[in-house]
Structure 1
Amino acid sequence: MKNKQISILGCGWLGLPLAKHFIAKNYTVKGSTTSAEKVETLKEVGIQPYVFTLGTTENDELLIDFFKNSDVIVINFPPKRVPNIEEIYQKQIQTILPFTNETQRVIFVSSTSVYQNTNDWVTEDQHNQPEKASGKAVFAVENLLKATLKNRLTILRFAGLFGYDRVPRRFLANKKDVANGKAPINMIHQDDCIGLIQAITDRNVWGEIINGCADEHPLREEFYTLAAKKIGLTPPKFKDTDEVSFKKIANMKSKELLDYSYQYPDPMVFVI
């Protein structure tokens, strides 16, 4: 029986360790990057490397080979922070769609930025009205992919990413008059991102939208104060006000549908 094959579009902070994880599971892994300098790094860990930039028709031959014979495709790159972010992100995704076929399954790594602040829990059934340009761009691509791929697609909406070299200890340190101190935060560890993607492929869960977020939601003020203190920086000073704007990401569907237990259920473990 041949090894399963996966194509990971975007081998950055999450994509590279995700590729390593699947290689350890005896998958054949194709990985893309926009930087020729990263090719050796990808090769060293056993990834078949591809270098291209989406949004043009100059990479057709590369894209054909990149997607060829893959059982699963992971779309894992965020929209660029540019003025016409929504238009460009959709164009990039539209570039790849002709090269997928009806036997392939697709995971789109999305973001909880698609949810507006409700000052309450939000679930996957939430009616979405993204507030920021990046959230609008991601939500537009979700809808594009759903219309095209239908039940071959599962969307994973990740909360704020952390883990290993991305622990927000310096974030907000030394700042004053910081707002929203009493707001709960939403975060997910890199290992849990990978665990959820693996669970989707193992259980063949397709045609779904799933939130990925740690169980616990410490207050912003508490988390970033302790984070700064842990490395000897001056903690941020938060505004003394009752005004707060937040959303609290519910993860029950990920646990029930995928039978998944979070490896890092409480982000506070990294700052205490």
Structure 2
Amino acid sequence: MSKKKKIAILGCGWVGNALKTKMEEQGHEVNCLCRDINMDSLVGFYNCDALIIAVPPSDEYLDVIEDVYFSVSLNEAINTQMILLSSLSFYDNDKLIADAEELAKIKDENTVILRLGELMGYDRIAGENTAGKMTNDSTTNYVHRDDVIGVIEIIIDKNVRNKIFNVVAPIQSTKKEIFTQNSKKFNFKEPSFSNIIDKNNSYSSDILCDVLGYKFQKENVQDFWS
């Protein structure tokens, strides 16, 4: 086990809560931050070795990021490792995502930015929301939650700084293949597909694997629920 660290997570939702459990199993002290900056500062949660920003984008997204970096900066004696969970939608010219990444880098150039693929696994089953509906096909860019947790874990363990990584399973498929497969496995009505194929660029985690020496636990999206 690596040296025990004090870790803070802003956004203990579907990813953040699972990350908290995993890091506590490794012997680290983990605190979930709330939107009350003053309260979190008062109890010393911002005095930490690593802080993960895992909140979903919203109207207040940039303000939240601004407040978090300001609160961390008050602890001048601690060189906190900052990790921002971003999205592959950065490449689709999503202005909010791009602005958030730029703000994070301005506040701390050593911030690690993880551009996550579409999150899947456990109770998030691809195709379930389109059961029995008509939809368009496209290539996929899924990543299993276990691998998101695994990547964050190794980044904290190795104290990685100033990197931007795509986080997406190495072997992808199409929505039609995945949705059809899952409808049979989880017994929901199979969606139908139009003749329209949405343009969807494929992304790679090769740089992440090369730099971190990380091996995906769920390499193939067709095996996410096997």
Q: What TM-score does the superposition give when structure 2 sets the normalisation length?
A: 0.90
Partner of residue 213, structure 2: 259
Partner of residue 90, structure 1: 62
> For residues 263 and 66 of structure 1, what CA distance do their matches in structure 2 show?
35
- 1:167-182 pair list within 5 angstroms: 167-176=125-134, 178-179=135-136, 181=137
> For residues 4 and 232 of structure 1, what CA distance do their matches in structure 2 show?
43
> CA contact under 8 A between 2:87 and 2:117: conserved in structure 1?
yes
Partner of residue 166, structure 1: 124
Q: 123, 128, 141: which one pairs with 2:100?
A: 141
5+ residue gaps, structure 1? 33-51, 117-128, 131-135
Report how far residue 66 of structure 1 moved. Answer: 4.4
| AA matched with 2:192 | K
> CA contact under 8 A between 2:50 and 2:80: conserved in structure 1?
yes
> CA contact under 8 A between 1:63 and 1:96: conserved in structure 2?
no
> CA contact under 8 A between 1:64 and 1:99: conserved in structure 2?
no
> For residues 259 and 65 of structure 1, what CA distance do their matches in structure 2 show?
36
Identity score, percent: 30
Q: What TM-score does the superposition give when structure 1 sets the normalisation length?
A: 0.75
Partner secondary structure for residue 167 of structure 1: coil
> CA contact under 8 A between 2:87 and 2:116: conserved in structure 1?
yes
> CA contact under 8 A between 2:47 and 2:72: conserved in structure 1?
no
> For residues 174 and 66 of structure 1, what CA distance do their matches in structure 2 show?
50
CA 1:233–1:98 in structure 2 vs 1: closer, same or farther (change >3 Å)? closer
Partner secondary structure for residue 29 of structure 1: strand
| AA matched with 1:223 | I
> For residues 271 and 197 of structure 1, what CA distance do their matches in structure 2 show?
22
CA 1:105–1:175 in structure 2 vs 1: closer, same or farther (change >3 Å)? same
CA 1:9–1:194 in structure 2 vs 1: closer, same or farther (change >3 Å)? same
Report how far residue 171 of structure 1 moved. Answer: 2.4
Partner of residue 99, structure 1: 71
Q: 53, 57, 71: which one pairs with 2:35?
A: 53
> CA contact under 8 A between 2:10 and 2:54: conserved in structure 1?
yes
| AA matched with 1:237 | S
RMSD between superposed Cα atoms in Å: 1.9
Partner of residue 114, structure 1: 90
- 1:1-272 pair list within 5 angstroms: 3-32=4-33, 52-53=34-35, 59-80=37-58, 85=59, 88-101=60-73, 103-116=79-92, 129-130=93-94, 136-151=95-110, 153-176=111-134, 178-179=135-136, 181=137, 183-241=138-196, 243-270=197-224
Partner secondary structure for residue 239 of structure 1: strand
CA 1:66–1:216 in structure 2 vs 1: closer, same or farther (change >3 Å)? farther
| AA matched with 1:140 | D
Partner secondary structure for residue 124 of structure 2: coil
Report how far residue 142 of structure 1 moved. Answer: 0.7
5+ residue gaps, structure 2? none
Partner secondary structure for residue 211 of structure 1: strand
